Amino acid sequence: MALSDFALATVDSINCPHGMIIETRQGAIYFEVAGKGPPLVFVSGWAMSSECWRPVVGILARRHRCVIYDSRGIARSQPVPVSATFGIEDLAEDLHALIQTTGAHDATLIGHETGSLVAALCSRRHPQDSSSLVVVSPRLTVADSDLRKLALVTPASLALREIAAYPVLRNLVAWRFRRAPQPYRRTLFDDFAGLNPRAAYETALSVANLDPDYQMDTLFARLSLPILAVCGDRDKKGVEQARMLFSRMHAGRLATLSDCGFLPMLEYPDQFARLVESFVSRNQNEYGERRGNEYLDRR
């Protein structure tokens, strides 16, 4: 996807007073930029908008230029047509185009859950885009097995807000976001309920049927840039998979936050921000020459 495919335009000030839009042939992608300093670009997980980064950006924007965005069909980005098809590589190219448009080259890419895969693939395809990588609650496949099944069996024409009306599924989604503080817990659920169904389907299908070259463990083994993996000790799947990925890193560190679940950036934004700032400031001299050691962050 060439940069010529993109045109930058200001979003309607009534609907998105602080946002901008990347106009593409495949739709419009909403993003925001805050702060000045070394760039950080945040990539949300499956069915989540950029609002999940809001508390952390409020802290990190004091010393960094922070870029957040809504992926295809999520929240303020343009809905994906029912006829559209795309894969994880297209999401990585969306991220690349965003970095080009905002000039956030050599950024630290920070991805949550399946956003970690998007960030890692972008780093592999476009090494100039990133100087380091932070993966949060990483997953080798679509987040939770139940949500994976939900996405794959859902007709692309059926609005997820209709699905979310069923008590069992409503409880499932609420359980996923249960440790997020209000008002973000409500926002996350609303994001899911309003998610463009085609975007949910295509993303889940793509991650569930990844090319072997795009698997997280394969990508990590091929990336030489510094990587920080962050997970909560109450997110058992996240801890297990983060440790496995850590074993494949050439220049990596693993931080486990105590009494924390699936959403470290929302559950403990101050501690999460400190981890990111420490990693960014030290990665050139500490992570570039040797592998780091796993440690447990205790408050």
First to last CA, the chain: 44
Asked if the structure places residue 24 within a domain, the reply is no
Structural domain including 228 reads 34-297
Per the domain annotation, does 69 fall within a domain? yes
Residue 125 placed within a domain: yes
Q: Is residue 97 part of a domain?
A: yes
Q: Is the peptide bond before 183 cis (omega within 30 degrees of 0)?
A: yes
In angstroms, rounded to a whole number, what is the distance separating the alpha carbons of residues 166 and 252? 42
The yes-or-no verdict on residue 125 having pLDDT over 60 is yes
Prediction pTM value: 0.81
Per-residue pLDDT at 169 exceeds 60: no
Mean pLDDT score of the chain, rounded to an integer? 77
Taking each continuous run of H as one helix and of E as one strand, the counts in the chain are 12, 10
pLDDT band at 34 (very low <50, low <70, confident <90, very high): very high
Judge whether 45 and 200 are in contact, CB under 8 Å. Answer: no
Cα–Cα distance for residue pair 62/86, rounded to 1 Å: 36
* 23 in a structural domain: no
Phi and psi (nearest 5°) for 215?
Answer: -65, 145
pLDDT over threshold 90, residue 19: no
Is 67 within 8 Å of 40 (Cβ atoms)?
yes
State the average pLDDT over residues 4-31: 58
Angle, CA 175 vertex, CA 163 and CA 76 arms, to 5°: 55
| Of 32-41, 55-64, 132-141, minimum mean pLDDT range | 132-141
Least confident of 50-54, 155-159, 174-178, 247-251: 155-159
**Cα 70 to chain center, whole Å?**
10
pLDDT score at 50: 94
Residue 132, pLDDT above cutoff 90: yes
197, amino acid identity = P
The residues, any chain, with a CB within 8 Å of residue 215's CB and separated by 6 or more, are: 140
User: For position 278, which CATH number holds?
Assistant: 3.40.50.1820
Give tens-digit pLDDT for 235-285: 988 898 888 888 888 888 999 999 999 999 999 999 999 999 999 998 755
The CA distance from 203 to 207, in Å, is 6
Residue 241 placed within a domain: yes
* 3 has a pLDDT exceeding 70: no
251: which DSSP letter? Answer: S
* Count of the separate structural domains present in the chain: 1
pLDDT value for 28: 87
Give, in order, the Cα–Cα distances in Å from 207 to each of 40, 190, 210.
Answer: 24, 23, 5
For the stretch 87-96, pLDDT in tens is 788 889 999 9
| Residue 12 lies inside a defined structural domain of this protein | no
Q: Element (H or E) spanning 256, and its range?
A: strand 252-257
Please indicate, yes or no, if residue 11 is contained in any of the structural domains.
Answer: no
Q: What is the pLDDT of residue 246?
A: 87
